[in-house]
Amino acid sequence: MIEGKLEPLHLAHLPTPIDHLPRISKKLGILEIQMKRDDLTGLAFGGNKTRKLEYLLGDASAKGARTLITRGAAQSNHCRQTAAAAARYGFDCVLVLTGNEPTHLSGNLLLDQLMGAKTFWTRDQDPEEVFQSQFTHLEETGAEPYLIPYGGSNEIGIFAFVQAMRELTTQAPDLDRIVLATSSGGTQAGICLGASIYDFRGKITGISVDLESAEIQAKVASLANRTSQWLDRQDHIFVESVQVVDDFLGGGYGVVGTLEKNAIDLFAREEGILLDPVYTARAAGGMVELIRNGMIDKDETVLFWHTGGTPSLFAYTDIFADE
């Protein structure tokens, strides 16, 4: 509980375990790679957003909301977990999804429907404008909506990853580096702020899946510092201290190339662990390249934070059909 602020609703199976990856570590010639298994949080195939949703739904419940509304890409893991959380606690759920409605359901979209979420497609309109318009409509029609921002990235959601760092430093206090996928910035912001609060001395390397590093660095620092103020703390995260690598953007968001395919193959065949095509495959592929080119030293103990998203694999079956 955040004293005087809110109480979370239970959704996640915590603490998530840490797996050691000896076969991949040996193959890459690095001291050790470990993995934080937030794909095992337990809510509709799991994922890191479940942590955020525990606190966001706690706030929604405290405010008497009846409808959750959020937005994301067509195969959004955040939207899928929001739909599951809504079903678990009896909220209605509205999802604003970017682009045009596909001709058939697959991956996360199928799960969204199974869990009763209502979807609106932005087509060629600005996603945030459509999102805000839908929220206003829900207010006007008495649906008592609670707005969950893109990626759950506000102070409430970010606090969940401050707590996740408390969990991690208890489990694995001697890590040299954390590597994770980063996009909306909320997860990395919480990890950076949590590192400051809980005295984590290792490096935190975000690998961008869609944006240039400067943009994400600014978002992460801003979100972390807003959350610090919200918690009445003095911790300050400087933009220049936020490490984001944007060397692996490939063909753009959601476009699976050789880097992502190779990472999916490596983790599946060497460790029996599945990555998602959009976030964890790009971040894991980037981590592998950083190890190979010496940007990550071979004597480091590295933790890869698996943020989940594996249901979206089933929306990319054509890419692996020839294997």
Question: Active-site positions?
Answer: 76
In the sheet that holds 18-20, the strands lie side by side as 18-20, 32-37, 301-306, 177-182, 203-208, 243-245
State the Cα–Cα distance between residues 151 and 216, nearest whole angstrom: 13
State the Cα–Cα distance between residues 137 and 270, nearest whole angstrom: 49
Closest alpha carbon to 78 in 93, 58, 100, 62 = 93
Pairing mode, if any, of strands 243-245 and 118-121? unpaired
Closest alpha carbon to 75 in 215, 257, 278, 323 = 278
E-assigned strands of 98-250?
118-121, 145-147, 177-182, 203-208, 243-245
Do residues 201 and 165 make contact, with C-beta atoms less than 8 angstroms apart? no
Residues sharing a CB contact under 8 Å with residue 117, sequence separation 6 or more, in sequence order: 79, 82, 83, 86, 93, 94, 95
Q: How far, CA to CA in Å, does 207 sit from each of 67, 72, 152, 177, 188?
A: 33, 19, 19, 13, 10
Give the three-state DSSP class for 42. coil
Q: Which helix H or strand E contains 125, and what residues bound it?
A: none
Token pair, residue 273, equals 């662990």
Residues sharing a CB contact under 8 Å with residue 200, sequence separation 6 or more, in sequence order: 165, 168, 169, 175, 194
Question: How remote is the C-alpha of 171 from its chain's centroid?
Answer: 20
